[in-house]
Amino acid sequence: MQLSESAFNLRNPILIAAFEGWNDAAESASAAITHLLTIWSHQQIAIMDSQDYYDFQVNRPQIKIDESNIRQIIWPNTIVYAVSAPALAHDFLIIRGVEPSMRWKSFVADLLDLADDYEVSMVISMGALLADTPHSRPIAVAISASHPEVSERFSLEISKYEGPTGIVGVLQAEAYRRGIDAISLWAAVPHYVATPPCPKAALALIHALEDFLEITISHGDLPERAKSWESQVDQMAADDSEVGDYVRRLESSKDAAELPEVSGESIAREVERFLRRNPGI
C-alpha cells in the first residue's frame, strides 16, 4: 500500500467501502460511493499496489486518452480517501475499488491496518445483489451486522447468509475480529434490469446510510437520474408484454408482502428523514 505523505486528523472516523465486481449488481454500490466522493470534499490518503492483488487478465487495465491525445493506462485498483465532515459527528474514510483477484487476507489486513491507524470505530460496507423485485417499487436495502453482539447493540438483523462470499464479507469478518463494529448495507436490484447503471439502487443505499447514521446527505442529481431510469424501464415493460406481465406479478407479490409495514415502520422512517432534512420545521 502506498500512503500519502500528508497526515490527516480525523474525528472518530467511520469507514465506508464498496467494491466493483461480484458484490456490486448493476454497479449500484460503487455508484453510491462515487456519489459520496462527489458531494464530500476528500483527499486521497492511500492506494493499493495493484500488481499485488489483481489478475490483469480478469480485471484488465483501461486506456484513457486526454484532451491532448495523450494515452494513459488506468490500472484496476483500490483507493482510500479521507473526508472531513465538520458539520457531522464523524469524519470518514472512504474506500472505492475493484474486488481483488488474489491475496484477499493480505488485502484486507492492509486496509484494516490503515483503519486502526486512524482509530476507525465502525466499518460500513455497501453491496448490491440481483433479486426478484419490481423496479417500480422502492428498492429494498437490508441492513445487517456480521456478529450477534453488534446486531443486538444496534438493533439490527444478524446476517444468516451461508455460501460464497465477496471481499466485503471478508472485510466485515476481519473488522469484527479486530474489535471494529461491522455493518453491511445490501440493495436488491431487479434482476431483469441488471445492466448498469441503476441510480435508483444507488439512491436507496444513500437513504439507508442516512437512516442508519442519522445524518443528511446531499442527493445531488441522483433523484432525477433514478426517475429517468424508472421511466425507461417502464417503457421497456410497456413495449414487451411478457416483461410487463412479469413485472405486474412482482408488484402484486411485493405489495402483498409489505402492506403491514406501509402503515408503520416505513412511514416512520420517511418522517424521520424529512425532519432531518428540514431541521427548522
Model confidence band, residue 42 (pLDDT cutoffs 50, 70, 90): very high
- 277: pLDDT strictly greater than 70: no
Domain 2-277 sits in CATH 3.40.50.10900: yes
Angstrom CA distances, 10 to 2, 81, 117, 198, stand at 19, 12, 11, 32
| Residue 38 CB contacts under 8 Å (≥ 6 apart), including other chains | 220
119-144 pLDDT, tens digit per residue, is 999 999 999 999 999 999 999 999 99
158-211 pLDDT, tens digit per residue, is 888 888 899 999 999 999 999 999 999 999 999 999 999 999 999 999 999 999
Q: Which of the residue ranges 18-22, 151-155, 171-175, 234-238 would you say has the lowest mean pLDDT?
A: 151-155
Q: What share of the chain is helix, strand, coil (3-state, %, to 5)?
A: 45, 25, 35
**What pLDDT, on a 0 to 100 scale, did the predictor assign at position 158?**
84
Place of cell 483527499: 43
Among 203, 201, 126, smallest CA distance to 166 is for 126
User: What are the φ and ψ backbone dihedral angles of 240, each rounded to 5 degrees?
Assistant: -125, 105
The proportion of the chain whose per-residue pLDDT surpasses 90, expressed as a percent, equals 75
**What pLDDT, on a 0 to 100 scale, did the predictor assign at position 256?**
83
Cell readout for 252 is 402484486
**What pLDDT, on a 0 to 100 scale, did the predictor assign at position 269?**
57
Strand partners, 130: 189
Mean pLDDT for all residues in the chain: 90
Model confidence band, residue 2 (pLDDT cutoffs 50, 70, 90): confident
**Dist CA 32 CA 34 (whole Å):** 5
Strand partners, 131: 190
213-268 pLDDT, tens digit per residue, is 999 999 999 999 999 999 999 999 999 999 999 999 999 988 887 755 554 555 55
- Cα angle at 191 between 217 and 227, to 5 degrees? 40
